[in-house]
Amino acid sequence: MLESLARPERPALAVSRTACITGLATALPEQQTPTDAIWDALGRVRGRRFKGAGLAADTPRTRHLAAPLDWIMRPHSQSERTEAYLEHGRRLAADAAGAAIRQARIDQSRIGQVVCISCTGFVLPSLDAELIPRLGLRPDTARLPIAELGCGGGVSGLARSHDYVRAYPEKASLLVAVELPSLTFQPDDSSVDNLIAALVFGDGAGAAVIESPNGTAGIELARAATWLVPEGAGDLGYELRDGGMKVILSRRLPEIIRSQLGGVVERFLAAEGESLADIDV
């Protein structure tokens, strides 16, 4: 009797450990500002002349800025910054996402998840809530906004998309990252951190379509992992203040990376039965 009630065995689904980036695109603000012009603007704000001779040779010569430079150099309330973030972030996110979807040549009904990365603006609902109807995606699309991982947000987003398509191989994940750091600039903050951020960070968006490997060409994602370095928690990030977000860029960062990165990579490769000697690039 028990045997007759037993459910027939279902064929196991072939679940791949890998995922594939089949669409990849970026979107930038139209305004390009030379680094020298930023130096001049900083000098006017500070009431003294700045010289760029001390900059590293690889410092970008131009910067894509969402808002005009004179707007960025004026004090603004957090609500004004948020309005600017929404105005420019919506458009850049949609442009990058639409281009990635077109490159992937995917049926949009297959996109079951949108991962939205951004740490330079905080809105509720997050940008993906507007992005889904704007792109014509399904209303039951899963949403995963990630706001507090900073420079590591994009890589973490790829890992979460990887997890999703492994669990749902018949679906695809859309990853969108939008950062507008120029809108967080504090003209009254004379710290080195604030000045470096103004000269190094630029505004823009990026997007990727991640699918299970199905014979289509793309960039393979084999595995992802994270490693927390607690002693570096206060060396990179933002502090939310009355006038907005104050950037934190510690001079200890290069040393922290040098002391930690090698061991992290070796442990990551060892989990796959590989070593640094097996890596070509």
- 267 near 227, Cβ under 8 Å? yes
Q: Does 20 participate in catalysis according to the annotation?
A: no
Q: With contact defined as beta carbons under 8 Å apart, do 181 and 120 qualify?
A: yes
φ/ψ of 247, rounded to 5, equals -75, 145
Any idea which residue has 């990030």 for tokens?
237
Choosing from 20, 116, 119, 151, which is the catalytic residue? Answer: 151
Please tell me the distance from the alpha carbon of residue 139 to that of residue 37, in angstroms, as a whole number: 45
In angstroms, the CA 46 to CA 41 distance is 9
Which positions are catalytic? 151
